[in-house]
Structure 1
């Protein structure tokens, strides 16, 4: 990282400019922020996401029920893949019209995705529903919630480090532009006499 390479500017050197020392301080501040602020941000975001996702997982597990459905008939359409995070290779879902009993005891009928290789009328399969018997997705489980929280925390930490580095580069770029502007002004003042023999005599 270039932030570390900027620290050499603290060395005593008669050619060291004030801007060199400023660049070294900017590099040190950026290094400290990347080493401290980025991990702290990642931990805080990860912990917040963990709390939220675990709460959501508990609510979903409390509200959703696994029921047994019976295939009435196969609906038109090719098998489809669902829930790519948990589907094993080769698992296919077929669209069927199914009957099931809702958790409240009511009879339900509607389209559903059956995890059956060759669904036939009368075939049985597991189906997730809400309390009222409406078809819903599988509830979020605790390990998956933790994985998403860890990814969110890592992403937040990396984003913070990237923003700090971008800020450092922007500050250094502006300092270099100002330095070049000062050089141009100094050159313009000295330029008219450049190369003339006997100048100043």
Structure 2
């Protein structure tokens, strides 16, 4: 009983590859379209996702290496109530700070800090090699998460494009089959099917 069931499942899965005297050339083409679509969707999606995730992680690592933190001093009192902003930094406020650049010069700028801090309070800021203020880089965990999400999105997108292209090819093949069928029907039954 189990052997018969396995045989039926195997036949059902491999029906496109069985020999059949009624099988047309378009059926063989469709079989190859389905096979290539699945291979490209799965293998291509995985490879594209892996490449995108690795590239994103490399980029974020380079960004993290390009900045470093230094101690700065608030030059004015920070606002007491944070404003909600579009970038989601509603828990902080902007305030002017002063820091020393790598070349020894004193610089000033505006950065985000906790609300209610007073002038003269120490603040940590992130600067690049020239001493210009930069946003704080993502932590290693945040960078890994962003890289993984990028890889997943690219893999899914690649698979979706492959399936879409395969479906489009099969639709065109179906249209051609319908034209061939209509032409054959017109040749076999010239009276339009009436007897």
Tell me if TM exceeds 0.5.
yes
In structure 2, do the counterparts of structure 1 residues 123 and 161 end up closer, same or farther at CA, with 3 Å as the change threshold? same
Equivalent pairs, count: 183
CA offset at residue 94 of structure 1? 1.5
CA-CA distance at 1:194 after TM superposition = 3.2
Q: Secondary structure at the match of 2:132?
A: coil
Q: Does 1:135 align with 2:133?
A: yes
TM-score in terms of structure 1 length: 0.71
Match of 1:199 in 2: none
Task: Select which of 65, 68, 72 maps to 1:68.
Answer: 72
Q: Match of 1:30?
A: 37
- The structural deviation recorded for 1:67 is 1.4
Secondary structure of the residue that 2:150 maps to in structure 1?
A: helix
CA contact (8 A) 1:53 1:145 kept: yes
1:156-190: CA deviation from partner (whole Å, max 9, x where unpaired): 32222222212211111111000111122233342
Query: Is 1:95 the equivalent of 2:102?
Result: no
How far apart, in 1, do the equivalents of 2:130 and 2:75 lie? Answer: 20
| Counterparts in 2 of 1:165 and 1:65: CA distance versus 1, 3 Å | same
Give the ranges of 4+ consecutive aligned residues of structure 1 lying more than 6 Å apart after TM superposition: none
Match of 1:17 in 2: 24
Q: Aligned equivalents of 1:81 and 1:117: distance in 2?
A: 14
Offset, 1:126: 2.4
Alpha-carbon distance in 2 for matches of 1:138, 1:164: 38
Unmatched 5+ stretches in structure 1: 197-201
* Cα pair distance change 1:8/1:80, threshold 3 Å: same
1:194 aligns with 2:193: yes
- Are the equivalent residues in 2 in contact too, given 1:30–1:164 (CA < 8 A)? yes
Structure 1 residues 51, 127: closer, same or farther in 2, change over 3 A?
Answer: closer
Calculate the aligned-residue CA RMSD, in Å: 3.2
1:40 aligns with 2:44: no
1:54 matched residue in structure 2 = 61
With structure 2 as the length reference, what TM-score do the two structures score? Answer: 0.73
Alignment counterpart, residue 168 of structure 1, candidates 166, 177, 180:
166
